[in-house]
């Protein structure tokens, strides 16, 4: 489905509760081919002295992704796609946060628009970090949050990853809210509230939002 050999995913196993600063993988292009590369969620610029700000750089706003000095070069040269089955959001007071599982109505894969950077944690030890671009929420999500990830269709994903695009600014057309009928919102298990929890039980006992 991703257009890469399964062997590129190495020993990756399915995840159900991926959190910021944790390892994952992203898709990018190299010449005419796609490749899946290990990457950590939380963008760290190549010139950063440490990764202390990684947890604050998990997202980037579509409106300013081409303007901020920390993102401008990645927007022009290092665009990637982050695959996922869905994402979590929360509602309710902090003392009783209710996790919500947001995913495609047809069970398809989501392709988030992202940026990636190479960073040295130690001299000579390079790793990849990434973020996910967000845009204004559509009608389905605005009841929960005013932002949502940018979700690309297959053609949009191919355009976004095309690093030979002579006019990167033209790609900002892709950074728009998803169609209102693309996603459904369901309750998820409170186990989601701890990043220590992992497994399919986090998605059990789902009920349609608002019913």
Residue 208 has pLDDT above 50, yes or no: no
Residue at token pair 């204004």: 136
Q: What is the pLDDT of residue 13?
A: 87
% of the chain at pLDDT higher than 90: 66
pLDDT of residue 209: 44
The DSSP element (H or E) to which 112 belongs, if any, is strand 110-122
Specify whether the CB–CB gap between 133 and 114 falls below 8 A. yes
Contact by Cβ (8 Å): 112, 152: yes
Give the distance from CA 7 to its chain's centroid.
22
pLDDT at 34: 93
Separation between Cα atoms, residue 62 and residue 15, nearest integer Å: 27
Give the whole-angstrom CA distance, residue 20 versus residue 2: 22
Q: What is the mean pLDDT of the chain?
A: 89
Residue 126 DSSP code: E
Q: What is the pLDDT of residue 78?
A: 94
pLDDT tens for residues 50-81? 666 666 789 999 999 999 998 999 999 999 99
Question: Domain coordinates of the chain in residue numbers?
Answer: 6-90+109-179
CATH number for the segment(s) 6-90+109-179: 3.90.1680.10
Question: Residue 22 to residues 58, 130, 136, 196: CA-CA distances in angstroms?
Answer: 11, 11, 25, 11
pLDDT of residue 15: 92
How high is the pLDDT of residue 205? Answer: 63
Kindly report, residue by residue over 117-147, the tens digit of the pLDDT: 988 777 777 889 999 999 999 999 999 999 9
Q: What is the pLDDT of residue 51?
A: 66
Residue 96: what pLDDT? Answer: 81
Residue 210 has pLDDT above 60, yes or no: no
Average pLDDT over residues 15-20: 94
């Amino acid at each position: 489905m991703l257009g890469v050999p399964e062997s590129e995913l190495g020993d990756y196993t399915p995840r159900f509760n991926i959190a910021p600063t944790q390892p994952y993988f992203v898709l990018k292009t190299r010449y005419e081919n796609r490749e899946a590369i290990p990457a950590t969620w939380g963008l760290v610029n190549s010139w950063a002295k440490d990764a202390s700000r990684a947890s604050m750089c998990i997202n980037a706003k579509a409106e300013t992704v081409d303007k901020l000095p920390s993102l401008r070069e990645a927007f022009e040269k290092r665009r990637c796609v982050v695959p996922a089955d869905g994402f979590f959001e929360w509602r309710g007071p902090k003392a009783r946060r209710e996790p919500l599982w947001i995913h495609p109505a047809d069970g398809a894969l989501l392709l988030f628009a992202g940026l990636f950077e190479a960073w040295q944690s130690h001299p000579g030890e390079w790793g990849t970090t990434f973020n996910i671009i967000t845009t204004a929420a559509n009608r389905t999500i605005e009841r929960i949050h005013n932002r949502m990830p940018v979700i690309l269709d297959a053609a949009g994903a191919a355009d976004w990853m095309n690093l030979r695009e002579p006019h990167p600014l033209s790609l900002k057309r892709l950074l728009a809210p998803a169609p209102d009928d693309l996603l459904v919102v369901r309750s998820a298990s409170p186990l989601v509230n701890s990043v220590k929890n992992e497994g399919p039980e986090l998605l059990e006992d789902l009920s349609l939002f608002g019913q």
